[in-house]
Amino acid sequence: MNFPLEQPLFQFFYWLVNTPGVGAAVVGLLVGTAVTIFALTLRWIASAKSAEQESYPYPPQH
Amino acid sequence: MTDWCMVIDLEKCVACQGCSIACRMENNTPVVSPEEAKNGRAIRWNDVFPLPVHFGPDQGEYPNVKTHYSTRPCMHCNNAPCVKVCPVQATFIDEEGIVRQNYNRCIGCRFCTVACPYGVRYFNWFEPQWEETLVEYRNPDQLSVNGSLEGPAVRPAGVVEKCTYCAHRLVKARERAKAEGREFRADEYVPACVQTCTGKARFFGDLDDPNSTVSQLSKSLRATHLLEDSGAHPKTLYLAEG
Amino acid sequence: MQQTLNLHDREELIAPLYQFDRKFWTTLAVLIVIITPGMLLYVRQLVLGLGVTDLNRPVFWGAYLVNFIFLIGISMAGTVISATLQLLKVNWRRPITRIAESLTVFGLMTAGLQIIMDMGRPDRLAFTLIYGRLQAPLLWDIASLTLYLLTAVFALYLQLIPDIALLRDTAPDTAPAWRKKLYSILSLGWTGAKEQWRRLEKAITVVSVFIIPIGISLHTVTSWLFSTTVQPGWKSTILGPYFVVGAIFSGIGLLFIATTFARQYNKHLKEYITEIFYTNLGWIFIVMSAVWFYFTLNETLVVVTEQETLEFPVMASKLFGQFAPAFWGMNILMIAATWILVAPKFVSDKPTRNPLLKTITGLGATAIAIIIFFLLWLRLPALAAPAIQTGLLIAFVLFLIFALLGITKWMKTRLITSTVIASAFVLFGMWLERWNILMPTLTHARLIPYTTYLPTVTEIAITISTFGILTLMFVVFYKFFPSISIWEVEEGRALENKSGG
């Protein structure tokens, strides 16, 4: 019988979706990636140094 | 590879509910108060109920009345909807085709109970309780491997439980064979409901063995599955009435 | 050059953040009174078990799950709408982006709370992360919810940075030291340099692009919790988009209510959140209601026509069975909301001589309609003849139409009030819609006799408590941060001046 689960590739896929912990790893990867990207973006924004000030309608002049 | 299977001959079933009671004593299912039972909280791993389910049990006009009954253990589906939706693998199909439940892993999200088309899964709404003397007659057996808790072990509140084809009996039978230094034979293991059945309507055995009773019966023209259209590929077989 | 933040704005938007007046404490006290009973009953549920609810076999899911879907729904709209408007460079979005984005964050937090309350073993919550299985739809939901929550918090924070820096720079001397320190840390050393602005705007645009699919995925996955099962009434391919449309629909409703609440709470906001916002978002609201009706018709008509043995009893219980009040109530609420939104567009705002459009006609017709309703409801034996019953029914519908016509003129002059009424109708209707999706299927199991489900005091109190918590978060958050994105409003003004002058 030509049953997909007899092929190693599909067996691997089944292992992937059925093993406890793999899902956790995927969620962890997603969250980790997102948090890293967000943190790097914030650092990228904060690190911008420029000589000229107030070239834009903010902040208020004291 | 063994593939455990139960066959229920509805022609022989007398709806005595003996299987229900045997299952209760074997698997320590807690008793609930009548009010709770009325509210749908009774736990019967092996239920006996009138057919058709939804529009009254009686068919025909008096005195030509016929009432049909059916009995329903877990179907131990090959493509079990409950196993597919469990987020933590608290319920799983073991190598011998039995769908089992790990009470130490279950988070009580009740997705499996919702997904099961047969309604064979039960939730512990409260801490299980027994009347004082009944506690002494609880089955001391339990299945526990690497911190899991299965079988007739007393369940904590908030977890799901279900029929396991008395999987602890299989373990016990294997151990006994091992201790006696002989090969384990498939007919050494039967669930409590099969053992007790008054009308000898239940058969149990290895579906993969072509000579076993269940394999022979599965070839019967009366052999059918419950709700075959649900796509769950149920394993428990029924021999249709009439 | 356009003067930047003027003193006027500062007084109206920043000064209230430091005023812990009686109004604030009263609001807080009222909210705590609303929240407490539910929390106490939740502790009782923790101790005794989930049996204190009315959940049973086969109704294993109940009010908590309905709340969960509803809260996910309202949370979706905030950021998705704000991001869409942002990308389309719509100018009237500026005063409401902050409120919209914060609603997303708070909605998601309370939605997560519902799942924990629904679990039989909340102490094993971490198991979903330790033993998570990829095949389980619940895990997809966890992944999607976490990602959306993180992205929404990030989007909210990005928008907040310039305002936090402003708060840091303008804190009055009387402000407590810890608040100054908090603002100083959270502002990430923002100086408003040109390069910083450039990078911030770039980041905001990128996040806006990504948050829309994430938001849609969350609601679709939530619908998959149901549509991937084999239960009649759920196994439908339309459920995903239906949930998304319902989510945006109810989300706009909550956005209207939250904005109006903020306007009432801080009267100065009326200068910023003007009627333009109500008119323009009102049009999107009307479009969403049309799409929602389209999907509802699809869901209903197909099942009614095919009359399949498993699906039809579920639908029949909605049409004339135990769920008929909820189903028809939902439809009436939605029709009324749509009428309230659409009808005023067709009348002029000049005084009218048409007696049909007078408020007094509307009130009179409403009174008569109510009387007829009670006559029908009481089923008096004197009026039992079919001809009289039919006549009464026709009269009821007729007077209802008169009532709706009569209030049209009144609504025309009160755009904000009528929008809020419509929003409240939509929110309640959408909650009922979620109820109508979940409950009929659960009560109509295949091999278990049909049952009923009515939430107990515990479930009702916890539901009320949840919405109390949502409001509490909203109120407390806006004691720390301005409820209007100051820099975005300033930017909008600058752009207006540029194009105008």
DSSP string, B172-220: HHHHHHHHTTS---GGG---HHHHH-TT--EEEEETTSTTSHHHHHHTS
Tokens 């149990």 appear where? B204
Residue ranges of C 4-33 with Cβ closer than 8 A to chain B: none
Say yes or no: B54 contacts chain C, CB-CB below 8 A.
yes
Q: Is the dihedral of CA C278, C280, C283, C289 positive or negative?
A: negative
Contact C197 A56 (CB under 8 A): yes
* Per-residue model confidence (pLDDT) at position B195: 94
**Chain C hits for B75, Cβ within 8 Å:** none
Flag whether pLDDT at C111 surpasses 90.
Answer: yes
Q: Give me the domain span that covers residue B217.
A: 4-239
Residues of A in contact with C208 (CB under 8 A): none
H-state helical runs in chain B? 18-27, 34-38, 81-85, 111-115, 167-179, 192-196, 213-218
Q: Is the pLDDT of residue C485 over 90?
A: no
What average pLDDT does the segment C22-44 reach? 94
Residue C19, burial from CB neighbour count under 10 angstroms (0-12, 13-18, 19+): exposed
Confidence (pLDDT) at C21: 84
Measured in angstroms, the CA of B80 and the nearest CA of chain A are apart by 13
String of DSSP letters for C7-75:
HHHIIIIIGGGG---HHHHHHHHHHHHHHHHHHHHHHHHHHH-GGGSS--SS----HHHHHHHHHHHHH
The one-character DSSP state at B31 is P
- Please tell me the distance from the alpha carbon of residue C125 to that of residue C138, in angstroms, as a whole number: 12
- Bigger pLDDT: B188 or C6? B188
Q: Per residue in B71-128, pLDDT tens?
A: 999 999 999 999 999 999 999 999 999 999 999 999 999 999 999 999 999 999 999 8
Residues of chain C neighbouring A54 (CB-CB closer than 8 A): 192
Please, which pLDDT band fits residue B163 given cuts at 50, 70 and 90? very high
Asked if B54's CB is within 8 angstroms of C120's CB, the reply is no
Beta bridge partners of B100: B92
Is C296's pLDDT higher than 50?
A: yes
CB B166, CB B48: distance < 8 Å = no
Residue where the block lists tokens 């997904």: B115
Domain count along chain B? 1
Q: What pLDDT sits at residue C337?
A: 93
pLDDT digits (tens, 9 = 90+) for C50-65: 999 999 989 999 999 9
**CA C100 – CA C77 distance, rounded (Å):** 8
Q: Taking CB atoms and an 8 Å limit, are A44 and C133 in contact across chains?
A: no
- Is A22–C133 a contact, with Cβ atoms under 8 angstroms apart? yes
Instruction: Tell me the nearest-neighbour CA distance from B162 into chain C, angstroms.
Output: 13
Asked if pLDDT for residue C121 goes beyond 50, the answer is: yes
State ipTM: 0.91
Inter-chain CB proximity B89 and A23 less than 8 Å: no
Give the pLDDT confidence score for residue A61 in this predicted structure.
42
Separation between Cα atoms, residue C116 and residue B107, nearest integer Å:
10
Beta-strand pair B99-101/B91-93: antiparallel
Per-range mean pLDDT, top range of C344-353, C396-405, C433-442: C433-442
Predicted confidence (pLDDT) at residue A53 exceeds the cutoff of 80: no
Min Cα distance B189 → chain C (Å) is 29
Side chain identity, residue B197: C
Distance between B183 CA and the closest CA of chain C, angstroms: 36
C64 inside 8 A of chain B by CB: no
Q: Do A17 and C133 touch (CB under 8 A)?
A: yes
**pLDDT above 90 (res B229):** no
Our CA-based measurement puts residue A2 at a distance from the nearest CA of chain C, in whole angstroms, of 23
Q: Do C60 and B127 touch (CB under 8 A)?
A: no
- Spatial neighbors of B14 by CB under 8 A, at least 6 apart, are B198, B199, B201
Nearest Cα residue in chain A from C142: A27
Closest chain A residue by Cα to residue B84:
A18
For residue B237, the distance in angstroms to the closest alpha carbon of chain A comes to 23
Which of B145-149, C12-16, C87-91 is predicted least confidently?
Answer: C12-16
pLDDT digits (tens, 9 = 90+) for C204-262: 999 999 999 999 999 999 999 999 999 988 988 899 999 999 999 999 999 999 999 98
Do the chains contact at B87 and A23, CB–CB below 8 Å?
A: yes
Cross-chain residue pair B87–C136, CB shorter than 8 Å? yes
Test mutation, C133, C141, C156, C159, chain A, max A CBs within 10 A: C133
Which stretches of B55-181 are assigned E, i.e. beta strand? 58-59, 66-72, 91-93, 99-101, 122-123, 160-161
Mean predicted confidence (pLDDT) in C11-23 = 82
Mean pLDDT of C276-287: 91
Domain CATH code at residue B229: 3.30.70.20
pLDDT surpassing 90 at residue A49: no
- Give the chain B residue whose CA is nearest to the CA of C234: B115
List the single best residue of B77, B85, B230 to mutate versus C (max C Cβ within 10 A): B85
**Residue in this structure with the two tokens 């506690």, named with its chain if needed:** B135
Average pLDDT over residues B16-44: 91
**Type of residue at C32:** I
What secondary structure letter does DSSP report for B147? Answer: T
pLDDT value for B98: 94
Residue B154 DSSP label: P
Rounded to whole angstroms, the Cα distance separating C144 from C148 reads 6
Neighbours of chain B (3+ CB pairs under 8 A): A, C
**Mean pLDDT, chain B, as a whole number?**
91
Cβ under 8 Å to A: C residues 221-280: none
In sequence order, what are the beta bridge partners of B70?
Answer: B49
Mean pLDDT, range C186-200, rounded to an integer: 85
Q: Do B88 and A18 touch (CB under 8 A)?
A: no
The residue among B46, B101, B107 with the most chain C CBs within 10 A of its CB, best to mutate, is: B107
Give residue C24's Cα distance to chain centre. 23
In this predicted model, what pLDDT tens digit does every residue of B179-227 receive, in sequence order?
Answer: 999 999 988 999 999 999 999 999 999 999 999 999 999 999 999 999 8
- Closest listed residue to residue C111, CA positions, set C60, C138, C73: C73
CA C477 to chain centre: 18
Kindly state whether A5 is in contact with chain C, defined as any CB-CB distance less than 8 angstroms.
no
- Which domains are present in chain C? 7-500 (1.20.1630.10)
Residues of A in contact with B87 (CB under 8 A): 23
Q: Do C382 and C315 contact (CB within 8 A), yes or no? A: no
Give the pLDDT score at C20: 84
Distances in whole angstroms, Cα of residue C455 to Cα of each of B111, C52, C326: 19, 10, 14
Q: Please indicate whether, in this complex, the C-beta atoms of A59 and C195 are within 8 angstroms of each other.
A: no
Interface test with chain C among A40, A50, A56, by most C beta carbons within 10 Å: A56
The residue among A18, A22, A26 with the most chain B CBs within 10 A of its CB, best to mutate, is A18
Predicted pLDDT of residue B68: 84
C228 three-state secondary structure: coil
Chain segment C447-463, per-residue pLDDT in tens: 898 889 999 999 999 99
The pLDDT value recorded for residue A1 is: 57
Rounded Cα distance, B181 and B158, in Å = 41
- B52 to chain C, any CB pair closer than 8 A? The answer is no
Give the model's confidence band at C122: pLDDT under 50 very low, under 70 low, under 90 confident, else very high: very high
Size of interface B-C (CB pairs under 8 A): 141
User: CA-CA distance, C73 to C251, in Å (whole number)?
Assistant: 6
Q: Which residues does chain A have within 8 Å of residue C194's beta carbon, measured at their own beta carbons?
A: 50, 52, 55-56
